[in-house]
A and B are shown apart, each in its own frame.
Chain A
Amino acid sequence: MNYNKEQILAILATIADPEIPVISISEIGMLKDVIISENGYEVILTPTYTGCPAMGIIAEDIITKLKENNISPVTVKTVFDTAWTTDNISKEAKEKMRRYGIAPPLTRSCNNEIFTINVIPCPQCGSFNTVLVSRFGSTACKAMYKCSDCMEPFEYFKCH
């Protein structure tokens, strides 16, 4: 069976981000394109961070998922033109992220974000009474915060 580009992108849009399983690689803005040629299918990805360790897993997930649909041969290419930014994350995806317990990136075009400017609302109780615990967290893309009202710690997806 022959698939067109939209169909393949729709299949790939079901692959979850390994770190935030409620969001797909498409919603987070990593999936850029599929190029179909006589040599097969080339999936174009852009990483969130240069050292993102999820890239290898995502590439495997893509190949496996397409194989299940009898789509092959598949190659995965990583590109860096127009560097990934948190602005690429859709509004819906940000809301999913919040419900999952991760505070979504707050500002647009975060190039000059300074941590002290923005108050990050608690994804659990919505309080603005929160404090930064650490700018760096369990993954490259997140910082750690604490809510002073509900007392829960939470992660914030940094602007990037």
Chain B
Amino acid sequence: MTDKQALVKYCLRLGDNSLVLSYRLSEWCRNAPILEEDLALTNFAFDMIGRTRLLLNYAGETEGEGRTDDDLAYRRGEREFYNNLIVELPNGDFAATIARQLFISAFEFYFFTALQRSTDTTLSEIAAKTLKEVKYHLAHAADWVIRLGDGTEESHNRMQKAVDELWMFTGELFEMDDVDSLLIGLGIAVNLAELKPKWYDKVSRVLSEATLLVPKDGYVQTGSRKGIHTEYLGHILSEMQFLQRAYPDAKW
């Protein structure tokens, strides 16, 4: 693998994560428990689409074969997507959505903080911009986890269930392969192993404040670094990509 190939894959990984999570969060549009939450979750989705476009365009530029953000979003198959499994899971109830958001936003907070120091200036600039947005996502998700965890018996139980069920998908966030090791050597990528204790500490503090138990680490769901996904990603793509697959280059 060349440096260039590694960088393309790294950008796809980051862009696919925000693209697929953005898609899932958009499903809350007009379905959220209250209007303000409807706005909040779609605002998150919106920030993520902006980020996706920057990252996929950069992946396309780096690759140098003339592929745009749209080409990469609409014309790749499931096995060519590198997003973490946790973002493609169905939304579940509001507790599951908000637990996922806490896990992801806490990860992104430390990740983009570190990526600001990347030797790749495009990535460091995207990181600085994204971090400002992620801070709002994290504050919002943490507030909800605390409110629901430390709420009624029903909300507490559902929040705990969501945290427990999603926990096995969080290990994958920190997985590294040859793409990471090559790019860490060049000062481009973030060493995810260094993030894990910070992430665990932040998430544990929020869960404790929410009177929730931090799950014990156990079996970890994995596969996305190799493009192996849950059954859910294919369904997302069949809907998201339908128009461009059926009518290539359609514009309106």
* Given A80-B129, A83-B129, CB of A50 within 8 Å of CB of B36: no
Q: Cα distance A38–B159 when bound, in Å? A: 61
Q: Cα distance A49–B133 when bound, in Å? A: 8
- In the complex, chain A residues whose CB is within 8 Å of the CB of B136: 135-136, 158
Of A4-12, A25-33, A68-76, A137-145, the one contacting chain B is: A137-145
Most chain-A Cβ atoms within 10 A of its Cβ — which of B49, B122, B128, B136? Answer: B136
Closest to B121 in A: A81
- In the complex, chain A residues whose CB is within 8 Å of the CB of B132: 83, 85, 111, 160
Residues of A39-59 whose CB lies within 8 A of B: 47, 49-53
Residues of A80-98 whose CB lies within 8 A of B: 80-81, 83-85
Q: Mark B129-166, 1 if CB is under 8 A from A, else 0.
A: 11011011001100000000000000000000000000
Q: Mark B44-72, 1 if CB is under 8 A from A, else 0.
A: 10111111011000000000000000000
Please pick, from B40, B46, B49, B125, the residue contacting A135 in the complex, using a CB distance under 8 A: B40
Please pick, from B54, B122, B140, the residue contacting A50 in the complex, using a CB distance under 8 A: B54
26 contacts between A and B (CB under 8 A): A49-B133, A50-B54, A50-B129, A50-B133, A51-B47, A51-B50, A51-B51, A53-B46, A80-B125, A80-B126, A80-B128, A80-B129, A81-B121, A81-B125, A83-B132, A84-B129, A134-B40, A135-B139, A136-B39, A136-B40, A136-B43, A136-B140, A138-B39, A140-B43, A140-B47, A144-B36
Q: Cα distance A137–B38 when bound, in Å? A: 10
Give chain A's interface secondary structure class. loop
Q: Cα distance A111–B132 when bound, in Å? A: 7
Most chain-B Cβ atoms within 10 A of its Cβ — which of A51, A114, A138? Answer: A51
The answer to whether B125 and A83 touch across the interface, beta carbons within 8 angstroms, is: yes
* Given A49-B47, A51-B46, CB of A137 within 8 Å of CB of B39: yes
Q: Cα distance A105–B245 when bound, in Å? A: 44
Most chain-B Cβ atoms within 10 A of its Cβ — which of A53, A80, A136, A144? Answer: A136
CB proximity of B174 to chain A, nearest CB, Å? 24
CB proximity of A143 to chain B, nearest CB, Å? 9
Q: Cα distance A84–B125 when bound, in Å? A: 11
Q: Cα distance A78–B89 when bound, in Å? A: 34
> A100 in the interface, Cβ–Cβ < 8 Å?
no
> A151 in the interface, Cβ–Cβ < 8 Å?
no
B: number of interface residues (CB 8 Å):
26
CB proximity of B158 to chain A, nearest CB, Å? 22
A-B CB contacts (within 8 Å), total count: 66
CB proximity of A55 to chain B, nearest CB, Å? 9
CB proximity of B73 to chain A, nearest CB, Å? 14
CB proximity of A49 to chain B, nearest CB, Å? 6
Residues of A96-133 whose CB lies within 8 A of B: 111, 114-115, 133
Closest to B49 in A: A51
Q: Cα distance A115–B50 when bound, in Å? A: 24
Q: Cα distance A135–B137 when bound, in Å? A: 10
Closest to B116 in A: A83
Ranked nearest first, the 3 interchain pairs of A and B with the lowest CB-CB distance are A51-B50, A50-B50, A134-B36
CB proximity of A110 to chain B, nearest CB, Å? 8
Closest to B22 in A: A51
Most chain-A Cβ atoms within 10 A of its Cβ — which of B39, B53, B140? Answer: B39
Q: Cα distance A84–B46 when bound, in Å? A: 17
Closest to B39 in A: A136
- In the complex, chain A residues whose CB is within 8 Å of the CB of B40: 134-136
Closest to B125 in A: A80
Q: Cα distance A134–B39 when bound, in Å? A: 8
Q: Cα distance A20–B44 when bound, in Å? A: 21
Q: Cα distance A44–B134 when bound, in Å? A: 25
